[in-house]
Structure 1
Amino acid sequence: MTSTPTEPAQRTAADEDVSQRLLDSAATLSYDPATEVDWESPLPADRHGLNPEWSTLYGTPLWDELTPEQQITLTRHEVCSIMSIGIWFEMILQQMILRDQYVKDPANAEFRFALTEIADECRHSIMFARACAKMEVPAYLPPPFVAQLGRLFKTVASAESAYGGILVAEEVLDVMQRDWMRGDDVLPIVRTTSKIHVVEESRHMKFARQEIKESLRGAGTVRRHASALLISLVANVVVTNMVQKDVYKSVGLDPERAMAAVRRNEHRKSMLRNSCVHLMDFLSEAGLLTKPAMAIYRRTNMI
């Protein structure tokens, strides 16, 4: 199945205005990570990779068993796992956007912003890769089965399903990074990369929301239910794979024991639910928060 371009009659002057404003914003406020991030300074030994409150084990007895040095190591591996999964999903995202814009009018602001977003995502992926290398943390790739699911999704998803999948991944990470960029006990390299990502992804999320609304004009109940289910399944895969099981080996923990603690961690569940409030509001407004989808979001602790 291939993406079906939006019919010209469906796109309004208001849609084009949103894309033009996003283009103007990109021209005014964008970053070059190669020069904005301090890649040369040594990493402070006492800084975490992310706010401790965002660690998957924070609030559990297992977290309290760790020494301060182990907690720092764990958060550095956790943030690099999230960055690595982010790179994986950004590569899926770029392919879907390119496919969506295939043979569309290049004079349109929508087309030009879509390519601008792809350029942003390329820089973000390089930035995350360099950050992980700087922290001397290996790449945490998705399991083979999950990687194949991603390959399938980027091949078959189109319209609101594609942009909905993009949105759920970006929204969850956005809330986390807004905390990381302000964390006094977080590594400067993570604070800066988070700031860059938050600023530029805010435009991407607005674009995704607009594309979803545009795609759903005139959509029937069956299509909305099918899209809602697919988006929720993508959200489940992304959220449950952000921190890979092998991360816990980095501090000498038994991965199975650690994963069991994560599954019981009510603090973690609360943080996830809070990070998804605005996302769920939008999905509800768009008619993409059906009962089957809500069941999956609840199982994923997103609602």
Structure 2
Amino acid sequence: MRPHDTPPTGPVATGTGTATADAEFGALLDRLSEKATADYYNPFTTFDWPPTISTDELWMSPELLSVHGTDLMDELSPARLQALSRWESVNFYSLNVHGIRELLIEVTRRVHTPGFELPSEFFHHFIGEENDHMWFFATFCLKYAAKIYPDKSVKLPEAPRDPDIENFLVFARILIFEQIVDHYNVHLAADRRLHQTVRHINRLHHQDESRHIAFGCRLVQLLWERLLDSGLNEVTRHELRSYLSRYLTTSMESFYNPAVYRDAGLADGFALRRRLLAHPARQAAHAKVLHKTTDFLNRIGVFDARH
């Protein structure tokens, strides 16, 4: 990927670098920080972890399973469906553990660094909350499944060394990850068929992520505007679109885990994964999960209407 033509100037985190943008961004950060303080909870005392969660009940909403909308969904016995919901639930929380680890590394690298003076105070809330999230997702996996699925996601090429492009892609990836997860959180938190512990975890995560997403949308927009102001050429714009499009695709594909299918007692997990990923109903399901993200990226001009 080639960097834009014009060297960057001014603060990294404030797009155009104008006083108005700084004031608006600062006001948003103040509101989000105040809300984070008001909503604070101690995760180590908040959860009343039951000794077990029954394997004779759903652990994930059937509508969110990777087989939903396909013929296989109708072929599964109730017991097999419950097993699949259990292991897809564990996979979902495992994906959170790995995704949070990555975003913590990236955000921590930027806290109190030049260009990120404005958001650094909020970064402290963000880092603390994400660390809590990683702990309770990992605790769920280890306590009720005795494992965390390893990270098998496809690694995209490294972001370019150009700092403005790198910053934009880092926070765009974080926003995409958080919006995908939040789609699941909202549904799972409201599903009365699920154990109260499952609902509690997802409700708390959504509560925090709603702030992180509001922050991420504004920051990504400002970073994108900054790239445009600096003279982003069309070749690099296309490469950025392609990179993020691939990231969206690989993020959704991570929900189709052959190890999950094996643990649920389904034969030939790799063939099943390929079959499901090619199914039109699953492509429609992906579009539903991603619509807020793709709408946002279209609105700010990262994607175009043809994407």
Any residues of structure 2 matched to 1:1-303 within 5 Å, and which?
Answer: 6=12, 9-10=17-18, 12-104=22-114, 110-143=119-152, 146=154, 149=156, 152=158, 158-218=166-226, 219=228, 220-222=231-233, 223-254=236-267, 255-290=269-304, 294=307
Answer whether contact 2:190 2:199 (CA < 8 A) is retained: yes
| TM-score relative to the length of structure 1 | 0.84
Answer whether contact 2:12 2:115 (CA < 8 A) is retained: no
Residue deviations 1:210-237, cap 9 Å, x none?
1112212241342543333322222222
SS in 1 for 2:187: helix
Aligned residues: 287
User: Aligned in 2, Cα 1:212/1:236: closer, same or farther, shift over 3 Å?
Assistant: same
Distance 2:137 2:104 in 1: 16
SS in 2 for 1:216: helix
Answer whether contact 2:97 2:134 (CA < 8 A) is retained: yes
Shift of residue 264, structure 1, vs aligned partner: 4.0
User: Aligned in 2, Cα 1:137/1:232: closer, same or farther, shift over 3 Å?
Assistant: farther
Answer whether contact 1:163 1:211 (CA < 8 A) is retained: yes
| TM-score relative to the length of structure 2 | 0.83
Distance 1:265 1:79 in 2: 21
Letter in 1 for 2:132: R
User: Aligned in 2, Cα 1:278/1:291: closer, same or farther, shift over 3 Å?
Assistant: closer
Letter in 2 for 1:18: L
Residue deviations 1:255-298, cap 9 Å, x none?
13421441244333322212222212211111111479x2xxxx
Letter in 1 for 2:254: N
Distance 1:105 1:257 in 2: 47
Distance 1:170 1:7 in 2: 19
Unaligned residue ranges in structure 2 (runs of 5+): 2-7
RMSD over equivalenced CA pairs, Å: 2.7
Answer whether contact 1:160 1:215 (CA < 8 A) is retained: yes
Answer whether contact 1:60 1:261 (CA < 8 A) is retained: no
Shift of residue 50, structure 1, vs aligned partner: 0.9
User: Aligned in 2, Cα 1:105/1:273: closer, same or farther, shift over 3 Å?
Assistant: closer
Answer whether contact 2:90 2:145 (CA < 8 A) is retained: no
User: Aligned in 2, Cα 1:155/1:186: closer, same or farther, shift over 3 Å?
Assistant: farther
Give the % identical residues.
Answer: 22
Distance 1:195 1:205 in 2: 15
User: Aligned in 2, Cα 1:276/1:18: closer, same or farther, shift over 3 Å?
Assistant: same
Residue number in structure 1 paired with 2:4: none
SS in 2 for 1:273: helix
Give the stretch that moved more between structures: 35-44 or 20-29. Answer: 35-44
User: Aligned in 2, Cα 1:99/1:158: closer, same or farther, shift over 3 Å?
Assistant: farther
Distance 2:144 2:161 in 1: 33
Letter in 1 for 2:50: E
Distance 1:141 1:228 in 2: 28
Letter in 2 for 1:117: F
Residue number in structure 2 paired with 1:297: none
Residue number in structure 2 paired with 1:299: none
SS in 2 for 1:31: coil
User: Aligned in 2, Cα 1:26/1:284: closer, same or farther, shift over 3 Å?
Assistant: same
Residue deviations 1:140-185, cap 9 Å, x none?
1222x73x548x4598862221111111111111111111111121
Letter in 1 for 2:124: L
Distance 1:257 1:137 in 2: 26
CA radius of gyration, larger in = 2
Unaligned residue ranges in structure 1 (runs of 5+): 295-303
Residue number in structure 2 paired with 1:301: none
Letter in 2 for 1:110: P
SS in 2 for 1:186: coil
Give the stretch that moved more between structures: 56-65 or 152-161. Answer: 152-161
